[in-house]
Structure 1
Amino acid sequence: MNGPARLLSAATLALLLVVAVAVPAEPLIRLEPVAEGVHVHRGGHHSLTSPDRADIANLGVVIGTDCVAVIDTGGSVAVGRALRQALAELTPLPVCWVINTHVHFDHVLGNAAFADAQTVFVGHVGLAEAVAASRAFFVEHFADELGGGEDAAAQVIAPSQGVTDTLELPLGGRSLLLKAHPGAHSGQDLTVFDMATGTLFLGDLLFVERAPSLDGSLLGWLAVLETLPGAGVARVVPGHGPVSVAGPHELQRLREYLESLRDGVRAAIAEGAVAEDAAAGIAAAEAKRWALFPEVHPRNVVRAWMELEWE
């Protein structure tokens, strides 16, 4: 085994080691208002080795006159429960929709806290299959986050409603417009637009401050960024970082990193380099811009290399 395959194996092993030793901490969820009826909890920039790794994603709620939508539920059942408790302090209205922006653990493992008859789980049309494919991995490596019991597999809740292009969800007095995107950050990226306030939830299509992680298509991600933020957007909520940002500047900074990654990998491939030897020099100037860069960036190089070496 050599080149990108060997580096990928090492990165995968490192991930498995850290997920085996982290111990979940008691979550503290604070829902901050970002617009009328829109609140966001900001996840921390914690490493996967941190006991707080379940609380790294931004989580949103949008409150209508009839019911509430929850956008991503966190990386553990405990985080999901804490989110639900924080929401109950804002409104007595029921949760009618839980929307997952993609499959990664920090966005979906809190779903079980919202599983009841009146709540519909919604995601990209490909998300249910992705959750099913990830279930065994989640149970093996995130058992504590799933409650540590024998029913851990049952705690992994997949969406029952899939979005193929766009879908409008009513909340009473306002609606959310969901849009499914082609492969980018992941293979199942979904955005959520609150038309009443112009608030766009981008999930992990946008990282701010925290180093972006690539699990889908580098070229696809760059293509999707060309369509964002879109008309009528007053503010965006990233998957990681501040609870609300204007959008264009932050999207441009992300684009610069991804372009630097693309160009560096292409140049290294053209020179006949080996991925593990070239990784440190690719997009090196970006290191000071992003938290957790040394942890995240080498995996991005491998993923990008596997995509671009066959151009």
Structure 2
Amino acid sequence: MKIFQKDGLTVFQSALWKTTSSVIETNDLILVVDPTWLPLEVQEIQEYVAHIRNGKDLYLLFTHGDFDHIIGYHAFPDAKVIGSKGMQEHPRKQYKLDLIQSFDNEYYVERPYAIEFPTIDIVIEQDGQQLLVGDTTITFYLSPGHTHDGLFTIIEPIGIWITGDYLSDFELPYLFDSAKAYLATLQKSYMILDSHPVKVLVPGHGQMTEDEDEMKRRIVLAQDYLERLIDAVTREDEEAILGLEKEMSFPSNFTKGCHEENVAIIKKEYC
């Protein structure tokens, strides 16, 4: 479902996990970000891209290699694919594909395109790496912590910041990589706001924002949650740990598992 459209940015949101897919149109290119989830939702994105493309080069950006973000890869077979070095060398590609197949099998989902792990054409290896296409500048920053292969992406001159699974309006940090790296990525977020004229932030799940104060609030929210969880875990305060689990939105077996993974990673890194 299309939920936002302004100044070359169109954001679609899936019914599942409030997952966002973005289409950015500039004078030079079309950039599609993380097309997902259900076949009709991906088809809506395909049809919109076909409508606006007008012969422009098509790029497909993956913010990271989680299965919900790569599921629509082959819906855009002629796109040039952008991803991090960590994603290109992902050690669990088949596991991610198995998660997609398991989801589709469980819900009898049939897709008109093949399911494969993305092959990366433009590999991002370092902070500040840029892709220049005409007057469009796309700047990338590595964003480990949630996963090891995350990317922040800034599209200028429009001023769009694509954050992947960071800085959601409702989703607290999920650690599948490292708490220390996650906190460092949050610090990098302040640098991005200081270095780029960001006009809109689009997270991987939830609502975008055009308010810089709200962007900073989300950084502080994530920092505060992680710092309190690290403190509770290192003090072995089980009551506080349980209380922090209850702060997660949409409590479920999934969020319970994510919380347990958060605790396990913090124990490994800090204890």
Q: Which residue of 2 aligns with 1:123?
A: 83
Match of 1:252 in 2: 220
Give the counterpart letter for 2:241 in structure 1.
I
Match for residue 234 of structure 1 among 195, 199, 216: 199
Q: Does residue 1:42 correspond to 2:10, yes or no?
A: no
1:30 lines up with 2:2 in the alignment: yes
The aligned counterpart of 1:201 is 162
CA offsets, 1:174-219, max 9 Å, x none? 22112223x3111111011012022211111222113442212122
User: Quick check: 2:28–2:57 contact (8 Å CA) kept in 1?
Assistant: no
Structure 2 residue identity aligned to 1:125: K
Aligned partners of 1:39 and 1:61 also within 8 Å = yes
SS at match of 2:188: coil
How far the C-alpha of 1:295 sits from its partner, in A, is 4.2
Q: Deviation at 1:107?
A: 1.2
* 1:72 matched residue in structure 2: 34
**1:309 lines up with 2:267 in the alignment:** yes
Within the alignment, does 1:218 sit opposite 2:179 as a pair?
Answer: yes
3-state SS of paired residue (1:101): coil
Secondary structure of 1:206's partner?
coil
List aligned pairs for 1:97-116, cutoff 5 A.
97-116=59-78
Change (3 A) 1:227 1:146: farther
Aligned to 1:300: 258
Cα distance, 1:304–1:287 mapped onto 2, change above 3 Å: closer
SS in 2 for 1:40: strand
CA displacement at 1:124 relative to structure 2: 0.9
For the residue of structure 1 that corresponds to 2:176, the secondary structure is: coil
Deviation at 1:111, TM superposition (A): 1.2
Shift of 1:69: 0.8
Alpha-carbon offset, residue 102 of structure 1: 0.6
Residues 306/33 of structure 1: CA separation in 2 closer, same or farther (3 Å cut): same
Change (3 A) 1:235 1:282: same
Q: TM-score, normalised by structure 2?
A: 0.82
Q: Deviations over 1:211-265 (max 9, x none)?
A: 4422121221011101114222233211111122431011111222222222222
Q: Percent identity?
A: 19
Distance 2:111 2:19 in 1: 24
Shift of 1:151: 8.0
Stretches of structure 2 lacking an aligned partner (at least 5 in a row): none
Distance 1:112 1:77 in 2: 12
Task: Provide the aligned length of Structure 1 versus Structure 2.
Answer: 259
CA RMSD, Structure 1 to Structure 2 (Å) = 2.9
| Counterpart-to-counterpart distance in 1, 2:161 and 2:219 | 13
Match of 1:282 among 228, 241, 244: 241
C-alpha deviations, 1:253-279, integer Å up to 9, x for none?
1222222222222222xx6xxxxxx3x
Shift of 1:62: 1.5
Q: Give 3-state SS (helix, strand or coil) of 2:233's partner.
A: helix
RCO (CA 8 Å, sep 6+): is it higher in 1 or 2? 1
- Name whichever of 293-302 and 157-166 sits farther off: 293-302
Provide Cα deviations, 1:41-69, integer angstroms capped at 9, x if missing partner: 234xxxxxxxx43x631111211223201
Distance 2:111 2:179 in 1: 37
Q: Secondary structure at the match of 1:141?
A: helix
- SS state of the match for residue 204, structure 2? strand
| Secondary structure at 1:70 match in 2 | strand
- For 1:15, the equivalent position in structure 2 comes to none
Q: Contact 1:262 / 1:304 at 8 angstroms: preserved in 2?
A: no
Instruction: Tell me the CA shift for residue 72 of structure 1.
Output: 1.3
